[in-house]
């Protein structure tokens, strides 16, 4: 029976803290959320860090060291550390946690893009922290910078760590960029291609968009990749369902969507994992364990990390 890897993006830079009281911020909250997602069936947890005083995004490796060792000690889940951080950060800052903690997996964006979050201001009016409103408002004039040089810098810096990358592709051109770095020998198969749908500035979340992304990846990478899908906001479960039905993997979590159904905030990451697990099992598929994910992705193993 085919195995489906569930990745859970526990907390991240897309949302600001006061949009949901359930978004994990402190090291303890992030660890608890990751462990809960793993217990619900996530084989991989994708992790960002936040400053505990105001919940703003941070790439300080010391903050990651406050929760990664605990997650590793209490679960066999694969830990995936961001190199995206937030669009407001320089690439050197974004790289540090993956460079120093040497995780099994790290995320890597495949292109510079508009990354519009400003429309959230139409749905959220009251913010607790001073940084939140301008962070959203200024996104109509912000480029999320990931140049060819930036991508090469991250790949080359981490080359000795034997970290594999969750290759995040927000549009068709990003797939061609990934193929370019495969040709340069900086990315080696099997690839984990994470197609992102529904972010303002990237590809949409229509069924035809999803099929186009899959067909293009098939043509470029053949049997040398695993395809995973995440949909932002209300697109989360529909796009993940389509991916599972089309032979792909899935990603859910509070980084990508705060919701657990229309008008209902998800109280935990585990709730979203359980929701997509129900869909996967209804399709007569099986949820992959962390060790099965390691085998499928040829990861170095949980005892070869730097934490």
**pLDDT tens digits for range 24-56:** 999 999 999 999 999 999 999 999 999 999 999
CATH architecture of 3-304: Alpha-Beta Barrel (3.20)
Asked if residue 231 has a cis previous peptide bond (ω within 30° of 0), the answer is no
Looking at residue 1, its pLDDT comes to: 85
> How far is the C-alpha of 145 from the C-alpha of 244, rounded, in Å?
31
> What digits encode the pLDDT tens for the residues 215-268?
999 999 999 999 999 999 999 999 999 999 999 999 999 999 999 988 899 999
Residue 247 confidence (pLDDT): 97
The pLDDT, as a whole number, for residue 241 is: 98
Rg (CA), the chain: 17
pTM assigned to the model: 0.97
Distance CA 26, CA 208 (A): 39
8: Cα separation from own chain's centroid: 7
Partners of 46 in beta bridges = 9, 80
Query: Which phi-psi region, left, alpha or beta, contains residue 126 (left: φ > 0; alpha: ψ -120 to 50)?
Result: beta
273 Cβ contact list (under 8 Å, min separation 6): 6, 8, 37, 40, 41, 42, 252, 253
pLDDT grade for 125, boundaries at 50, 70 and 90:
confident
Closest CA to 227 of 208, 206, 209, 248: 248
CB atoms within 10 A of CB 62: 11
Report the pLDDT value the prediction gives residue 65, as an integer from 0 to 100: 98
Average pLDDT over residues 75-101: 97
pLDDT grade, residue 300 (50/70/90)?
Answer: very high
- Indicate if the pLDDT at residue 123 is higher than 90: no
* Mean pLDDT, residues 97-125: 95
């Amino acid at each position: 029976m085919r195995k489906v890897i569930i990745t859970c993006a526990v907390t991240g830079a897309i949302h600001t803290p006061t949009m949901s009281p359930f978004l994990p911020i402190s090291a303890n909250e992030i660890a608890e959320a990751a462990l809960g997602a793993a217990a619900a069936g996530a084989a991989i947890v994708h992790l960002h860090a936040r400053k505990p005083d105001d919940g703003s995004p941070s790439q300080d490796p010391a903050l990651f060291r406050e929760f990664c060792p605990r997650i590793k000690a209490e679960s066999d889940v694969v830990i995936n550390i961001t190199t995206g951080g937030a669009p407001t950060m320089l690439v050197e800052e974004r790289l540090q946690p993956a460079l120093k903690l040497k995780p099994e997996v790290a995320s890597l964006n495949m292109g510079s893009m508009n990354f519009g979050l400003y429309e959230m201001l139409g749905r959220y009016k009251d913010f607790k922290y001073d940084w939140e409103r301008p962070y959203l408002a200024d996104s109509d004039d912000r480029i999320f910078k990931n140049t060819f040089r930036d991508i090469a810098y991250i790949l080359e810096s981490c080359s000795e760590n034997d970290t594999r990358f969750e290759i995040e592709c927000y549009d068709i051109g990003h797939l061609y960029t990934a193929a370019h770095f495969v040709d340069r020998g900086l990315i080696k198969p099997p690839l984990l291609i994470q197609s992102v749908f529904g972010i303002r500035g990237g590809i949409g979340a229509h069924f035809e968009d999803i099929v186009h992304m899959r067909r293009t990846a098939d043509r470029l990478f053949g049997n040398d990749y695993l395809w995973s899908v995440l949909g932002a906001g209300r697109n989360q479960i529909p796009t993940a369902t389509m991916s599972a039905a089309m032979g792909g993997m899935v990603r859910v979590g509070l980084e990508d969507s705060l919701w657990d159904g229309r008008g209902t905030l998800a109280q935990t990451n585990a709730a979203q994992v359980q929701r997509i697990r129900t869909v996967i099992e209804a399709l007569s598929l099986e949820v992959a364990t962390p060790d099965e994910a390691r085998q499928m992705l040829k990861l170095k193993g949980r005892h070869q990390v730097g934490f």
